[in-house]
Amino acid sequence: MRFVNPYDGINFASTPKVKAISHEHITSTEQLKSAYDRGIRWFAPVWYQPAVPRYPMTGWSYEYLDYTNTNMDDFTTEMVSRYGSGSLSNFEDKDGNTVNVADLPNVPNAEHPKFALDKHAATPSIIQHFNVLGSLWPEVGHDVGAERMAKIQAHPLWDLNDINEKFTSDLLYAGKVFGTINHNKSKDTAIRFLETCPSIFKAIEINNNGYNLADNQAFRDLFDTLLTMGYRIWGTSVQDWQGDYRYSEVQYDRGCNVLLIPEYNSMTVSQKSEAGLDAYISGCYYSSAFGNSAITELSIIGDSVKVSFDHSATRLYAITNKGKYQSSGSSIVYKIPKGATYIRFEAYFDGDQNALDFIFTNPIFIEDNGSDDIAQKLILDII
């Protein structure tokens, strides 16, 4: 039995835990302050429909104006407007300390809600939203990078093969990419993304605070379906719209990913930004509501996995393609069943609907684990 563990080498007791966002609409300094005051320290604020990122955060957000134009070869910087409320300003946090926006680690990010599955169809069909975080063209400057990103993101008639070609082309993109499939319950849609653009899409949202509890469970059910099918992807938890609860049962700003980055505290801002993107790509993070609960240990012991938390979970799940086991407590040692190809954990902590915190680990993949032709008895040691 072999393990492909995104947390390999991580000392959970000493590694800095950095609360981060991968999909959050921050269009004003007030919204930025709200996210900062709830503990977010690594940012990827997103603009929308269709857009290139607000990046850097001291600059403007760009939006492509005439996205019905199909001749993208004629696209120019003049067709991009400076959009939104302008640059994000320095602010005072909840403790009265001045926060310099330029000191906040961040990467470019944009969300797009529609691309045609078949660009030649008379009525192009619509597919789900996605986000792309990436490092933008530092060699050519932000304006040129914005133009290139807009060419890729703003064209409604490009199909996924076009998107894959443009994002992976040295001429149009030079940098790292972490693409997520947003608030999606369709297996066929997810597979189309993952099969067509494997170098771009590395995760799906498994919690989005803008959606109800049933939808979010459906996101996680799809996650397990894809993992069972053999796709090696990560999950993310997001706030989506900061301070907007119109469609949510949870009237609270929650949703973050806790990045695990050794040496983080000694890095420069640009190094922190890059290291955060690397953590997302490699899956070296866990998802949470607020990030107020923490993993203190995650270790592989023989054919078992041990996970411990800093306080007791009211509900604790070990999940594999062979099924789900429920328990409670601050720690679990789970013996992996024969035939399991991945394992992940969900922990839910005390609180009402709004205050409930949770932790979702990324999957640990399992290789050479034999056949499940004969039913195996699970040996569980709950501490």
Q: What tens-digit pLDDT sequence spans the chain (383 residues)? A: 999 999 999 999 999 999 999 888 887 888 889 999 999 999 987 765 444 555 567 665 544 444 444 444 444 444 444 444 456 889 999 999 999 998 999 877 767 654 444 444 444 343 446 666 665 444 444 455 555 555 555 444 455 666 666 555 543 444 677 888 888 888 988 898 888 778 778 999 999 988 888 899 999 999 999 999 999 999 999 988 777 776 677 777 889 999 999 999 999 998 998 899 899 999 999 999 999 999 999 999 999 999 999 999 999 999 999 999 999 999 999 999 999 999 999 999 987 777 789 999 999 999 998 765 433 333 333 33
Q: Which two tokens stand for residue 72?
A: 């993208």
Domain-wise residue ranges, the chain: 1-14+292-383, 22-254
Q: Which two tokens stand for residue 295?
A: 């993993």
Distances in whole angstroms, Cα of residue 264 to Cα of each of 47, 147, 155: 27, 32, 37
Taking the model in full, what pTM does it have? 0.84
The angle subtended at Cα 273 by Cα 278 and Cα 5, nearest 5°, is 20
- Give DSSP secondary structure letters for 170-199: TTT--S-EEEEE-S---HHHHHHHHHH-TT
CATH code of domain 1-14+292-383: 2.60.40
